Amino acid sequence: MKVLHVHRIGGIGGSERHLLTLLPALAERGLEVSLLGLDDPARAPDPFYEELRVPYERLRAARDLDPRLALRVRRAVQDADVVHTHLVHADVYGAFGARRLVSTKHNDDPFRAGVFRFVERALARRAVRIIAITESLARFQVERVGLPRDKVEVIHYGLDEVPPAWGTNPPDPVPVDARVLLAVCRLEPQKGVDVAIRALRDVQGAHLVVLGEGPQRAELERLAQELEVPVYLPGRVPDVAAWLRRADVLVHPARWEGFGLALLEAMLASRPVVATRVSSIPEIVVDGETGLLVPPDDPAALASALNRVLADPAGYGERGRARASAEFSVARMADRTVGVYETALQRTGPRV
């Protein structure tokens, strides 16, 4: 079976990290797997390809709408038995010319429930199956976007280990005896790093370390300076696991979330999690068992939960590791994805 995945590539976020795990696992199951990358040159796509372990083709995708790119994608997808698209740009471009289309929905960004929902519905008519990465996201797609329930299937992200290091982290200013609150996310409003910075005023002796890049960097640096709290923003680092070992707790104050792979990474590293009770997060972090959940946009509640975990970790990390290993394995994710493809092979949608 020849399966071509299509994704707009710009850095390594959650959906890109998902592909870096899923695609080799599919290849190990005997599928002929490759990637068509639609490169966003403004967001440094090269590191993704350096880690990718399956064949790929790259197309420049500097603009959101590009008729010439649509034609190039159409030619690229025609030989595949199944075309599997990820996120909006790939959904739109990948729908052209695919005989059998599978689409994975990775987040519940509110814009999808606005006017764009009509585009989503049109694309859903072309798809044989639609994968949602959580039950929460499946409900969002059906109830708010209006996608057909009989086409939607839930397949959670899978992860067996924290990301392997590709180098050594540079020296950092965080004291060795500091209580480290670690966030692994893009620096953008969705992730709520500003809420964590505000909460930091009420967490004695803690330093916030945020691994990731994004358009909010300057704003977050200014906020930390204004509040006079210790925040370190090293950007993308070569050894995430080293920071997980140093962390006392993973903090994830997202305003909405498709999945949150950082949550699984922390659980696999036996670290407690303090996160917001939004979107899919309660499916991953069990409140009071593997961490604590708080309302979004509430620095006081976040600080209180962080103080509770720092004072008494209460076995959250050990129970988190057990849950991650049992419920979110790579094998389970890959096997269920192959099942979707086998279903798709029985059907052929109309070409566009």
Residues 59-111 have pLDDT tens digits of: 999 988 899 999 999 999 999 999 999 999 999 999 888 999 999 999 887 77
The band of 12, judged by pLDDT with boundaries at 50, 70 and 90, is: confident
Per-residue pLDDT, 349: 52
The residues, ordered by sequence, that sit 6+ positions from 56 with a Cβ below 8 Å of its Cβ are: 34, 35, 36, 37, 49
The one-character DSSP state at 277 is: S
Q: Does the pLDDT at position 350 exceed 80?
A: no
The band of 113, judged by pLDDT with boundaries at 50, 70 and 90, is: confident
pTM of the model: 0.84
Q: Does the pLDDT at position 167 exceed 80?
A: yes
In this predicted model, which residue has the larger pLDDT, 307 or 165? 307
Q: Are 318 and 76 in contact (CB under 8 A)?
A: no
The residues, ordered by sequence, that sit 6+ positions from 59 with a Cβ below 8 Å of its Cβ are: 36, 37, 38, 39, 69, 72, 73, 76
For residue 170, the one-letter residue type is P
CATH 3.40.50.2000 in the chain is located at 2-158+329-345, 179-327
Q: Give CATH for domain 179-327.
A: 3.40.50.2000
Share of the chain above pLDDT 90, in %: 84
- For the 2-158+329-345 domain, the top CATH level (class) is alpha beta
The band of 112, judged by pLDDT with boundaries at 50, 70 and 90, is: confident
